[in-house]
Amino acid sequence: MIYLELLVRSINKLNMKNKNIKLNFLIAAGGTGGHLFPAMAVGEQLEKLTDNNINLFYIGTENRMESRIIPEKGYKYFSMPIHGFAGISLKSLKLPLSILKSVSIAKNIIKENNIDAVIVAGAYISYPPGLAAFKLKVPLFLMESNVNLGKSNKALSYKATKIFTSYKETEKYIHEDLKSNIYQFGNPLRESISQFPDKNEAVKKFYLDINKKTVLIMGGSLGAKSINIAIENNLGYISKSNWQFIWQTGKNYTIKSSLPANVYSCQFIEDMSSAYSAADLIISRSGATASAEICLVGKPSILIPLSSASNNEQYYNGKVIADNGGAFLIEDNKLGTDLIKKLDLLISDEKLRLKFSENAKKLANPNAASDIAKEILNTI
């Protein structure tokens, strides 16, 4: 039955090829911006390379960020009852059923919308659509933003048509038999990230002094509790600095202390290109997107991996940059003793900052989204 459906679909495509038939892509991504935004960047490039002669469909969870952002962008969005493993709990006992239901939903979407290829960007959201694509013999493309393969991508790696990675080091985490399927293009980023406003104008957006250098502190949309605590504990040091600080706390952290005049604080930064333009130095988690963006903008950084990351992926992301001389890497449990030491060293040493900046830029892949989109189009 599957082969008959494929044959009918192929014949219909051939018979109607002169009627401006659009290719149909299903993109599975979300849960966090680190998975969603790279997938959206590839989607944007697929549209650009085909003069919008494609249809993009997205699939994700029922209540995470993608369920809001994708429809706001005007794309057709489908949801699944899938969720991650939350330890031993009643919810986790129901996980096999939610996976089966999600695979069934994804299969129906692929068939009903005549999907030509499925693109998955990692995390548990990827598994049901990826498995559905494999079962229906639809080309499956995996995107891995981190150094080490996530659990879902690892499970799907043998079923993928091609695997797109961000780091050469990822080869160590993929079976020898699959290495001919690996394309190391880098982590796809939104074009807006590299479209910098003037530095002085960017600094003004954060109500700071254009004559002072700036440290950008960020921990993702939810913030980074350990980084926030370390910064708040050292506001005395910060208040005496001749530098100024943009401190993104996330929505789950409340600053209890009075802020010095040289600190601008906010829960979330919508305009990241301005924040990167304003920054002379960055303190950040080392998630896949943050790491790629820091390299793209070529800013010296102090990277603090999230210790509770399920696959320890943030540590490996940060380690690659640090090992290549582009950043300091501080593990979470050493923040209290090491953060201010490393910060003080970078603030006082312009040559070191320049060295970090140059080495970080060497790791950037500004054309990653376009290269992945081209390879997908060439393949199908």
**Which position has the token pair 């699959």?**
178
Judge contact between 103 and 136, C-beta under 8 A. Answer: no
DSSP E strands, 185-236: 214-218
Identify which of 94, 47, 57, 96 has the alpha carbon closest to the alpha carbon of residue 79. 57
Surface-to-core class of residue 342, CB atoms within 10 Å of its CB (0-12 exposed, 13-18 middle, 19+ buried): middle
User: Which stretch of DSSP H or E encloses residue 264?
Assistant: strand 263-266
Judge contact between 278 and 206, C-beta under 8 A. Answer: yes
Alpha carbon of 110 to those of 20, 26, 122, 312, 354: distances in Å?
20, 7, 19, 33, 49
Beta-carbon contacts of 202 under 8 Å, excluding residues fewer than 6 positions away, are 196, 274, 275, 277, 278
Judge contact between 335 and 304, C-beta under 8 A. Answer: yes
Euclidean distance between CA atoms 287 and 306, whole angstroms: 8
**CB count in 10 Å sphere of residue 251:** 10
3.90.950.20, 3.40.50.2000, 2.40.50.140, 3.40.50.880: CATH of 2-187+366-379: 3.40.50.2000
Q: Which two tokens stand for residue 362?
A: 């060497």
Q: What is the mean pLDDT of each run of 10 residues along the chain (380 residues)?
A: 52 48 91 83 95 94 85 92 62 75 95 97 90 96 90 91 92 86 91 82 93 92 84 94 94 88 92 94 93 94 85 89 96 91 95 97 93 96
Euclidean distance between CA atoms 145 and 281, whole angstroms: 23
- In the 8-state DSSP scheme, what is residue 60? E
Identify which of 55, 57, 102 has the alpha carbon closest to the alpha carbon of residue 76. 57
Q: Which two tokens stand for residue 354?
A: 């320049």
Q: Which two tokens stand for residue 89?
A: 């709990």
Judge contact between 335 and 227, C-beta under 8 A. Answer: yes
Euclidean distance between CA atoms 186 and 369, whole angstroms: 8
Predicted structure pTM score: 0.83
Q: Where in the chain is the domain with CATH 3.40.50.2000?
A: 2-187+366-379, 192-362
pLDDT in the model for residue 18:
45
Fold of the CATH domain 192-362: Rossmann fold (3.40.50)
pLDDT in the model for residue 339:
94
pLDDT in the model for residue 13:
52
